[in-house]
Amino acid sequence: MRTLSLITLASVPILAIATPVSRCTGTIASLDDVAAAQKCTTITIQGFTVPAGKALELSLLDNTVVNMAGDVKFGVANWAGPLFSISGKGITFNGNGHTFDGQGPSYWDGQGGNGGVTKPHPMMKIKISGTYSNVKVLNSPAHTYSISNPAKLVMSGLTIDNSAGDAANSQSGGKAAGHNTDGFDVSTTDLTIQDSKIYNQDDCIAINKGSNIVFQRNYCSGGHGISIGSISTGATVTGVQILNNQIINNDQALRIKTKADATGASVSGITFSGNTATGTKKFGVIVDQGYPTTLGTPGNGVTISGINFTGSLNNIAVTSSAQRVAVNCGTGCTGSWDWSQLTVTGGKAADSKYSVKLDRLKHAKWAHTSLTQGLPSRYTSQDASQPWLIYWASQALTCLGIQLENKTKQHVIDTILANQHPDGGFGGGPKQLPHLLPTYASICTLAIVGRPGEGGGWDQIDRKKCYEFFMRMKQPDGSFIVNKDAEVDVRGTYCLLVAATLLDILTPELVEGTSEFLRSCQTYEGGFASSSHPYYSAEDDKPRVLSGPYQRPEDPKVDVKKLVRWATGMQGLPIEGGGFRGRSNKLVDGCYSWWIGGLEPLLLELLGIGNEEAETQVPRHVTEETDSENGPTALFDKTSLQRFTLVSSQVSTGGLRDKPGKSADPYHTAYNLAGYSTAQHRVYRSRTKGHIFILEESKTV
């Protein structure tokens, strides 16, 4: 054993002697020198000319250091290229300000890679990790850099100068001779490009797939701006930071483009911060799912989410003929986008031909199918909520302006009446006990689809028995239990008062003590119930307005200012999409577009400004050309609320949802649409007609 150990130790110096061969210094002054030089870990590139049709290809040992000591020019030949390629791990490449000259003018014909003569494409193929710095590329025939690094790579202090391609030549038909001269085509991970200058006629950078990519403090002149994409089938781009760049005289400043026919692809987690642009000729910011046709019919196969203009202000100036912002999305645009740190000045508003819109037809078909053909088997647990499921579908269709055919109306009426209990009120299904909540849903449904007369539903409601049922639910403190031997729930108070109002059976006897009870439910936050919650707050605030004619001067008053402060605080920030949350520190949810958004006219009423003499302007439609602001009496950001519904709540197959990632359901479909409608209309009390509320469409600013 001792002998073996000594032999093993003795072999170590022998191995050490074998390795220094790679630590030599190689010099490349012609292609003939490459094979020997790339066996060394220190290489110097002298100035020389690469013969036409040949490439300078370096396959380097790990941790090699390369320095340029002269300029390299490439001979001209019509071939595919690339002209220069380099691979290796842990490489340090320093150009020391020297140039790779692609002799672009000898190729340029205004067609780039779309036709004309064959051009080396790309000119520079980078497949290293480590650092690559201080290199100048002059006149690339077409695309300049293609990057697919094996591990982290930092590229800095680079210059790409294709500015000579701005001018026309004898082959370009009067347009710029340089074409498809992209600065950086990126399909990689863990890449930083910084402190570089790019003068060209196409994308300054095009990030086609990859993650953890930083593009910062660069200068882009004369091309198509900074681009995510074009995104093809199966590609994923995520975790990209575009920071503090200057974009001068480009067609676009910041662009996201996905191919209209792409599928199974995604773009997410894109941050734009501190970028400035001047002289932008076509679009300040453009998100386009119709590529290659600008603002063409958008595809639906690429998901775009988490687009954020945050941190430092992005300040974009466009020319008079340019459009400031254009968003051309199919159904793939989703989630919360934060535009808070973006300012675009000059030019005109964008064409909204394919901007995100409410897909009325799909939602109407979805709601109608839910009503007439039934729901999936998972809804069997909702057997005691049958009137609710019918009401939500009917309410959604009403919001969409859809009238049911007479046969379906009658079927709905007959189904609802089958749930009426002989002792008054309605149950959740036939022969079920009466309950305040399904009573509300049943009466609201009959108000939508019913009619006077025999079989019309409205006259078949037993008002006397219903009133007796309501009085049996009444408690000594003014509250109501929801059904026999059940709990007190303020939601039941709301449902009872709405139903009593619609049936014209609201009496002082019925609401005696109710105001005191409701006031006792207000919490320190300003909302109502055991923890401030919009469902309870809405159901507390609305009964106070409904029972208003029977309130006494001595009844305790709700702290309205505290309620307003709480309710307005429930609207999410722009990064959350502008929807409403249910409780403090919870996620936004589409149903609260109604449960809180619907509070606004009631809050204005309680504040004394919700009347027909008040003037308010809120945008009716959310499109890129709206350029609107919320009116002087608006308590909520109605523009953001509408955007939340359009962008985050719609499901491409129809119906609306809680939030992205969830499925459509009748409940969220009804209340998303109700909240969306509230954001587009103004409701106020008539000063001349007493207990009458007036609904009018909001003005488009």
Confidence band (pLDDT; 50, 70, 90) for 332?
confident
SS3 track for 527-574: CECCCCCHHHHHHHHHHHHHCHHHCCCCCCCCCHHHHHHHHHHCECCH
Sign of CA dihedral 527, 533, 536, 542: positive
Q: What is the model's pLDDT at position 334?
A: 79
Q: Is the pLDDT of residue 647 over 90?
A: no
d(CA 245, CA 217): 5
Nearest to 183 by CA among 199, 167, 163, 195: 199
Kindly report the pTM of this predicted structure: 0.61
**Residues 350-402 pLDDT 10s:** 554 445 788 999 999 999 999 999 888 989 999 999 999 999 999 999 999 99
Q: What is the model's pLDDT at position 398?
A: 95
Confidence band (pLDDT; 50, 70, 90) for 682?
confident
CB 358 within 8 A of CB 645: yes
DSSP H helices in 400-531: 406-417, 436-449, 463-473, 490-503, 508-511, 514-520
Mean pLDDT of 176-201: 98
Q: What is the model's pLDDT at position 552?
A: 54
Mean pLDDT of 70-76: 98
d(CA 438, CA 442): 6
Q: What per-residue string of b and e applies to 655-682 under the rule 16 or more CB within 10 Å gives b?
A: bbbbbbeeebbbbbbbbbbbbbbbbbeb
pLDDT above 90 covers a percentage of the chain that reads: 70
pLDDT top residue among 603 and 669: 669
CB 141 within 8 A of CB 178: no
Q: What is the model's pLDDT at position 22?
A: 62
Read out DSSP for 432-445?
PPP-HHHHHHHHHH
134-138, 382-386, 652-656 — which one is most confidently predicted on average?
134-138
Confidence band (pLDDT; 50, 70, 90) for 193?
very high
Mean pLDDT of 152-180: 96
CB 512 within 8 A of CB 571: no
**Residues 539-579 pLDDT 10s:** 455 444 555 555 555 556 788 889 999 999 999 987 788 89
CB atoms near residue 352 (< 10 Å): 18
Long-range contacts of residues 157-160, Cβ cutoff 8 Å, at least 24 apart? 157/133, 157/195, 157/196, 158/95, 158/132, 158/133, 158/134, 158/193, 158/196, 158/197, 159/135, 159/196, 159/197, 159/198, 160/136, 160/196, 160/197, 160/198, 160/199, 160/200
Q: What is the model's pLDDT at position 582?
A: 87
Q: What is the SS3 assignment for 464? A: helix
Mean pLDDT of 142-171: 97
Q: What is the model's pLDDT at position 687?
A: 64
Rg of the Cα trace of the chain?
Answer: 34
d(CA 21, CA 304): 51
Could you tell me the CA-to-CA distances from 520 to 269, 552, 564, 607 in Å, in that order?
A: 45, 16, 17, 20
Nearest to 444 by CA among 367, 497, 391, 371: 391
Q: What is the model's pLDDT at position 331?
A: 79
Q: What is the model's pLDDT at position 8?
A: 36
Least-confidence region, from 164-178, 354-368, 389-403, 508-522: 354-368
Q: What is the model's pLDDT at position 389?
A: 97
CB atoms near residue 358 (< 10 Å): 20
Q: Is the pLDDT of residue 161 over 90?
A: yes
Q: What is the model's pLDDT at position 686?
A: 65
Confidence band (pLDDT; 50, 70, 90) for 338?
confident
Q: What is the model's pLDDT at position 602?
A: 84
d(CA 538, CA 544): 10
**Residues 610-634 pLDDT 10s:** 555 444 433 333 333 333 345 556 7
457 DSSP 8-state letter: B
Give me the chain's average pLDDT, please.
Answer: 88
Mean pLDDT of 153-158: 99
Mean pLDDT of 269-284: 97
Supply 659's token pair. Answer: 């939030």
Q: What is the model's pLDDT at position 17?
A: 42
H/E element, 601: helix 600-607
**Residues 442-474 pLDDT 10s:** 999 999 999 999 989 999 999 999 999 999 999
Mean pLDDT of 39-54: 98
Read out DSSP for 22-66?
GG-EEEESSGGGHHHHTTSSEEEE--EEEPTT--EEEEPPTT-EE
Supply 583's token pair. Answer: 């409780």
Confidence band (pLDDT; 50, 70, 90) for 661?
confident
Q: What is the model's pLDDT at position 616?
A: 42
Q: What is the model's pLDDT at position 614?
A: 47
Q: What is the model's pLDDT at position 600?
A: 87
Nearest to 549 by CA among 582, 504, 579, 517: 504
Could you tell me the CA-to-CA distances from 500 to 14, 259, 436, 448, 476 in Å, in that order?
A: 99, 56, 11, 16, 19
Nearest to 339 by CA among 569, 571, 575: 575
Q: What is the model's pLDDT at position 4?
A: 37
Q: What is the model's pLDDT at position 267?
A: 97
CB 186 within 8 A of CB 210: yes
Mean pLDDT of 177-197: 98
Could you tell me the CA-to-CA distances from 415 to 14, 193, 307, 465, 656 in Å, in that order?
A: 93, 66, 47, 19, 25
Residue type, 513: G
DSSP H helices in 269-424: 360-373, 386-399, 406-417
Burial class (CB in 10 A: 0-12, 13-18, 19+), 512: middle
Residue with tokens 């037993």: 462
- What does the longest C-alpha to C-alpha distance in the chain come to? 112
Q: What is the model's pLDDT at position 690?
A: 54
Catalytic site residues? 224
Q: Is the pLDDT of residue 270 over 70?
A: yes
